[in-house]
A and B are shown apart, each in its own frame.
Chain A
Amino acid sequence: DTAVSQTPKYLVTQMGNDKSIKCEQNLGHDTMYWYKQDSKKFLKIMFSYNNKELIINETVPNRFSPKSPDKAHLNLHINSLELGDSAVYFCASSQEGVWPSGPLHFGNGTRLTVT
């Protein structure tokens, strides 16, 4: 059973298009994240939701809009895609509501290529 699953695995699209990446976790965690990994392998947090509430919103263009329909899902919608958006996007989850909180569990990533 995949704990954190994201779809699609690969996404190739043209500049200006709008696309979505979906993420689901079956771990019962209360917090979900989106990370972006660039070509230099830095993993930078973009957003974090705790029980469907946005709690972290790093400096990300407002073309990126996360949506959490329930605490097991966190989707990422990207409008007007640009070349610089090309990267691998990782979804992750963790249990934050108890002490100590658990480690991050990551999906296997979505490689987005904007042409």
Chain B
Amino acid sequence: LAKTTQPISMDSYEGQEVNITCSHNNIATNDYITWYQQFPSQGPRFIIQGYKTKVTNEVASLFIPADRKSSTLSLPRVSLSDTAVYYCLVGPRAGRRALTFGSGTRLQVQP
């Protein structure tokens, strides 16, 4: 199971774009990259998933370079409600998965 490394915390201001990078040097060929968001007293919530290049949805974008050894979650124009912990997860997209999350990145958005 590919190990991931993320910054422990990040600070930003409302309206700014936030980029959170995750390193996963030993990612396997059949591994996908998935990001989750967790608010206090709630379970993690799926944000976005990708395999290579760029993926965009209504919430975020995910940039994955050709070597796939890292990925960057991009949150456009953050608001106070984006204050949360963000987890990067690497693992097979299907099958019997034993996915353990890392400690995540705590994003604090200031007014």
- Verify that A and B bind, or say they do not: yes
Nearest CB in chain B to that of A106: its residue: B43
Tell me whether A101 and B94 are in contact in the complex, defined as CB-CB below 8 angstroms, given that A41-B104, A90-B43, A108-B42 are known contacts.
Answer: yes
Nearest CB in chain B to that of A47: its residue: B98
B41 pairs with A44, CB closer than 8 A: no
Interface size grouping (class) on chain A:
20 to 34
Query: Distance in Å from the Cβ of B9 to the closest Cβ of chain A?
Result: 11
B104 pairs with A101, CB closer than 8 A: no
80-111 of chain B: CB within 8 A of chain A: 85, 87, 93-104
Contact with A along B70-83 (1 / 0, CB 8 A): 00000000000000
Q: Could you say which of A4, A41, A42, A45 contacts B43, with CB atoms under 8 Å apart?
A: A4
Contact with A along B33-63 (1 / 0, CB 8 A): 0101000011111100100000000000000
Query: Distance in Å from the Cβ of B101 to the closest Cβ of chain A?
Result: 4
A106 pairs with B95, CB closer than 8 A: no
B96 pairs with A106, CB closer than 8 A: no
List 22 contacting pairs A-B, 8 Å CB cutoff, sorted by A.
Answer: A40-B103, A42-B101, A42-B103, A44-B100, A45-B98, A45-B100, A50-B96, A56-B97, A58-B98, A96-B96, A100-B93, A101-B94, A101-B95, A101-B97, A103-B36, A103-B49, A104-B36, A104-B46, A106-B42, A106-B44, A106-B45, A108-B42
A41-B103, A56-B98 known, 20 other contacts, Cβ within 8 Å: A40-B103, A42-B100, A43-B44, A43-B87, A44-B101, A45-B99, A48-B96, A50-B96, A90-B43, A90-B44, A96-B94, A98-B94, A99-B94, A100-B94, A101-B94, A103-B36, A103-B49, A106-B42, A106-B43, A109-B43
Which residues of B are in contact with A by a Cβ distance under 8 Å?
34, 36, 41-46, 49, 85, 87, 93-104
Which residues of A are in contact with B by a Cβ distance under 8 Å?
4, 35, 40-45, 48, 50, 55-56, 58, 90, 92, 96, 98-101, 103-109
